[in-house]
Copies of this chain bind each other. A is one copy, B any other.
Amino acid sequence: MITAEVIAVGDELTSGERLDTNSQWISQRLAELGVRTLFHTTVGDELEATVRVFRAAGERADVIVVTGGLGPTADDLTREALAAAFDRPLVRDEAALSHIRSLFNRRGREMPERNVVQAMFPRGSRIIPNAHGTAPGIDLEIVRAVRSPARYFCLPGVPAEMKEMWRETVAPAILDALPGPARVIRHYCLRCFGAGESHIEQMLPDLIRRGRQPSVGITAHQATITLRVTAEGESEEACRRLMQPTLETIRRSLGDLVYGEQDEELQHVVARGLSRAGKTLAVAEWGTGGLVTHWLSDACGDHSFLGGTVIRNRNALCETLQVSRELLESRSEYSCEVAAAMAERCREQFGADLALAVGPFPPPAASAETPSETHFALATADAVFPETSPFTFHPDILQARTAKQALNALRLYLATRTPMDSLTA
């Protein structure tokens, strides 16, 4: 199997000032091409150290992808280090230089003299074009005794430029160079909400185990569970066919717990549901800090999600939503009646077909036996559906989880147009 090492160059990375996200992205892309990354290395802006890292990489990996160090300043040493590592002189490429000059001219500026160095390449290398930045990349093949040549790809550290150059030039070049029949790796994710990670694992008959093909991985993030199915095959199409039965098994086993695919969030599914039903929605939330409103604003069109009212104390509740003070006094704000009133009043105020209300978080329970619940409500033209959710103290994900519970209740309502079942998350 073809192996890789991913190298990131820069003092700002070794010092910890900046987080390297390029190496992870590149490893993921390499995996999709069937190339296995064995090492990541980060080295500072130091010539000798970088030369050694480049040489060592060629000893222990077949494909070496380098990001960073291609700028025009004195501490940008990648091209010099690559040339020195393999005893090549740096040679100027006139076409590349022209292109860099034209990038400056296009912005009405003269090219500074220092940028000339960006048109220097180790003799024998190929140029990787950079349409939007001044640093072209370098593609260099190094002959090795006994084995196939090592292939070095040097790209700028700017993520947008690096990714475009990867897609346009590097990935096709790697695919071309791969021996034998193509092997690609593809993933597909199913997104779940409404049960915990262990619970979901138990519901999947023996799927999450080492060595299974396709494999199934499970991860949790702020109460959303993601199941990632991975298949290896001759083509993207072949991978999809391999994954299909596993995906069907998961959907059959989990039912409603699966809300979406890939990187969908609950608000995207709600947006689709509103659109399909041709309904408008407004939100009244207390405790979730405007999260539900913000997420829906991102996901929905202006004419399906009309807006929201974010409440922060009892007075605001009465003033803005005109929930009666008597109701608050008699029932307290931690009640299903108040959540229902919030939903009804919000629906009227916004003139929406539906309104979703999230009540405030209850205070800590008096004892372990006293149930703590957060109240939601969904108001339609005909009825108000109250809902509760057991309240657990995970302070760091509390807002996000509660906001998701509310969206999940709405998603299920839109999917089935029937009263919601109790939430179990």
Contact = CB atoms under 8 A, between A and B. Distances in A.
A39 interface: yes
Given A19-B21, A49-B39, A313 B309 contact: no
B316 A350 contact: yes
How many identical subunits does the complex contain?
Answer: 2
A183 to B, nearest CB: 15
Contacts of A36: 15
B293 A310 contact: yes
Contacts of A53: 39
Nearest to A27: B16
A307 B312 contact: yes
A339 to B, nearest CB: 16
Interface string A344-379: 000001110000000000000000000000000000
A343 to B, nearest CB: 15
B306 A312 contact: yes
B306 A290 contact: no
A297 interface: yes
B14 A39 contact: yes
A13 B42 CA distance: 14
Given A291-B294, A320-B309, A40 B27 contact: no
B294 A307 contact: no
A96 interface: no
Interface string A157-169: 0000000000000
A161 to B, nearest CB: 16
A37 interface: yes
A407 to B, nearest CB: 14
A302 interface: yes
A260 interface: no
A31 B14 CA distance: 10
A42 B44 contact: no
A18 B38 CA distance: 14
Contacts of A310: 290, 293-294, 297, 307-310
A289 interface: yes
A40 B24 contact: no
Contact of A16 (B37, B293, B312, B350): B37
Contacts of A94: none
A293 B312 CA distance: 10
Contacts of A19: 19, 21, 24
A265 interface: no
30 contacts: A15-B27, A15-B37, A16-B23, A16-B24, A16-B26, A16-B28, A16-B30, A17-B28, A18-B24, A19-B21, A20-B24, A38-B43, A38-B49, A39-B41, A41-B41, A56-B56, A289-B297, A290-B310, A291-B294, A293-B310, A297-B310, A303-B312, A306-B311, A307-B309, A307-B310, A307-B312, A309-B320, A315-B351, A319-B349, A319-B350
Interface of A: 8, 13-21, 23-31, 36-44, 46, 49, 53, 56, 60, 217, 282, 289-291, 293-294, 297-298, 302-303, 305-313, 315-316, 319-320, 349-351
Q: Which 6 pairs across A and B sit closest by C-beta, in order of nearness?
A: A16-B27, A289-B297, A40-B42, A16-B28, A290-B294, A290-B293
Given A15-B36, A16-B23, A303-B312, 7 more contacts: A8-B40, A16-B30, A19-B24, A49-B60, A303-B313, A306-B313, A309-B309
